[in-house]
Amino acid sequence: MRVLGVDPGLTRCGVGVVEGVAGRPLTMRGVGVVRTPADAELGHRLVAIEQGIEQWLDEHRPECVAVERVFSQHNVRTVMGTAQASAVAMLCASRRGIPVALHTPSEVKAAVTGSGRADKAQVGAMVTRLLRLAAPPKPADAADALALAICHIWRAPAKNRLQQAVQQQAALHASKGRTP
């Protein structure tokens, strides 16, 4: 499975592509950041993010896009920009028919480090180790994007099995004329 991880942000939108399957060594296919100037008009920044993500989709052809789920922070202005960049990433993938998965920051940290409260340095160190890199990707947004892709590769099989079980249970109830 090839996954494009997106750590959304208006100034720095981290992107990283990881390929592999759960339980086997993973391979980094690319990592970077789509940058926009902080003083540019919002619409122009969103278009720049769209163009950057479209280039990553063209170049790497992922099977899935994993985006960090936006959560409420104290700074509403920051969360709005993050949500807008997140929506652009989801739109780019959906327009191409590529499935989108959302993962919370604590879910990603727990998947990669074993602790949902890990700091950026711990995430970067584990991404470096898991992908057998010479040094942690910089800036942290790039490492976070790789962590999102890793998290999805590791968690997608379990989520798919759970979803199939729920669908089978619903079909069984429907065949007996009951609702679950």
Binding site residue list = 7, 68, 141
Catalytic residue among 7, 41, 119, 144: 7
Respond yes or no: is residue 141 known to be catalytic: yes
Give the integer Cα–Cα distance in Å for 180 and 171. 9
Strands 27-35 and 64-68: unpaired
Give yes or no for a contact between 127 and 150, defined as CB atoms under 8 angstroms apart. yes
Give yes or no for a contact between 94 and 50, defined as CB atoms under 8 angstroms apart. no
Sign of CA dihedral 160, 2, 54, 37: positive
Annotated binding site for Mg(2+): 7, 68, 141
Respond yes or no: is residue 63 known to be catalytic: no
Catalytic residue among 50, 59, 141, 144: 141
Closest CA to 82 of 95, 91, 73: 73
Catalytic residue among 19, 58, 63, 68: 68
Give the integer Cα–Cα distance in Å for 156 and 162. 10
Respond yes or no: is residue 68 known to be catalytic: yes
Active site residues: 7, 68, 141
